[in-house]
A = this chain, B = another copy of it.
Amino acid sequence: MSQEFETSLGEHELADLAVGCTVLAGGGGGDPRVGLMMAINAVQHHGPVSVIQLDDVADSDTVFAAGMVGAPTVMMEKIANGGEGRVIQDTLQARLGTRISAMMPMEMGGINGVLPVAWAVNAGLPLVDGDLMGRAFPELQMCTPHLHDIPSRPSVLVDERSQAITFDTAGNVWLERLMRNTVSVLGGCASAGLYPMSGAVARGPVIRGTVSTAVRIGRAIRTAGASPFEALDSEAEVYPLITGKVIDVERHTAGGFVRGSAVIEGTETDSGRLVRVEFQNENLVALEDGEPIATVPDIITLLDRHTAHGIVTEHIRYGQRVVLSVFRGPTQWRSEAGLRVVGPRAFGYDVEFKPVEERHAPTH
């Protein structure tokens, strides 16, 4: 696997990023399409976005993370206006009395891996090559600063009417509760600025290089011609669980989340097998014969059998041909403290987390 990092993202890189984000999202984060269109529009007007490494951020500089919060089904329709990043930046700067020097995606998945590029470009800020989840997750305390006891304070919520709500809460779980509810009142989704941190404070939690990783994975898949899965294998450690057809999907949008399940019937060498995936925006567990065969925080994604693009949970449909694939979850989340926040028990599943590499073999 190549080690190089992106230094700027133009239209081609953004298309790669979007595909990579569907793979890494674990089914969540929303369809990147609207975010990609906005990001392409922004770089067409203002030129490519500059990408910097976290180590390029000075100790005393301030950075923040951003993303849309709400139901992915709504994000596809109630579209951001592109200026929210700037409103967030101005609000944070006024509150903190410091200058914001860069921003990063809150999560590396779905629309939220791509849309922050539009915000960064429109605000004139560089994008930090990293994020706070290393994948996508449904709730706001499921960010690495929370593991380091760093509060998201203040947090800012902005909608497409440029209304702004600033939160100073007693911890990140209160923030999730309050912001989630406010998002409902605003119509189901809104744009959030979270976890403003100095460069010094950011060094611990930020998961580095994830923008570049997503671009690299997306580029491999997009340029692979007839063998996208081979290309994916060359860029990532993939654990395929089952190749099959979606024969059932149940999904409902409530309280800001898309919840439900899908059943995959095995085909080819997996004939006779049935695997069920349960999700809350993101895929949480994969079950076979009633037993978990993969869980969060490992990244569980339905990949399209032909293109190897990831399928977001709101797009799962009867008849889709998929390869249910797992990637190792980010290291910070696999710790004991991390599992308390994003392990299966944190989502209500009474099962122990077992790393995917202890259950299955990778493709290579």
Contact = CB atoms under 8 A, between A and B. Distances in A.
A163 B182 CA distance: 15
Interface of A is mostly: mixed
A234 interface: no
Contacts of A161: 170
Contacts of A177: 185
A95 interface: yes
Contacts of A165: 165-169, 178
A94 interface: yes
A174 interface: yes
Nearest to A164: B168
Residue among A94, A164, A166, A184 with max Cβ neighbours from chain B (10 Å)? A166
Interface in A149-185: 161-170, 174, 177-178, 181-182, 184-185
B166 A162 contact: no
Contact of A185 (B95, B162, B166, B181): B181
Number of copies: 2
Contacts of A181: 181-182, 184-185
A180 to B, nearest CB: 9
Contact of A174 (B163, B166, B170, B184): B163
Contacts of A95: 94
Nearest to A158: B168
B167 A162 contact: no
B182 A178 contact: yes
User: Which of A161, A174, A178 has the most C-beta atoms of chain B within 10 angstroms of its own C-beta?
Assistant: A178
A186 B161 CA distance: 25
A160 to B, nearest CB: 11
Nearest to A178: B185
A164 B95 CA distance: 13
A166 B153 CA distance: 13
A185 to B, nearest CB: 5
Contacts of A164: 167-168
A34 B174 CA distance: 26
Contacts of A184: 181
A169 B178 contact: no
A299 to B, nearest CB: 31
A141 to B, nearest CB: 15
A175 to B, nearest CB: 9
Instruction: Count chain B CB atoms within 10 A of each CB in A164, A165, A185 and give the residue with the most.
Output: A165
A187 to B, nearest CB: 11
A267 to B, nearest CB: 46
Interface in A86-140: 94-95
Nearest to A184: B181
Contact of A162 (B162, B163, B170, B178): B170
Contacts of A162: 170
14 contacts: A162-B170, A163-B168, A163-B170, A163-B174, A164-B167, A164-B168, A165-B165, A165-B169, A166-B166, A177-B185, A178-B182, A178-B185, A181-B185, A182-B182
In the A-B complex, the 6 residue pairs with the closest CB atoms: A166-B166, A164-B168, A181-B185, A161-B170, A163-B169, A163-B170
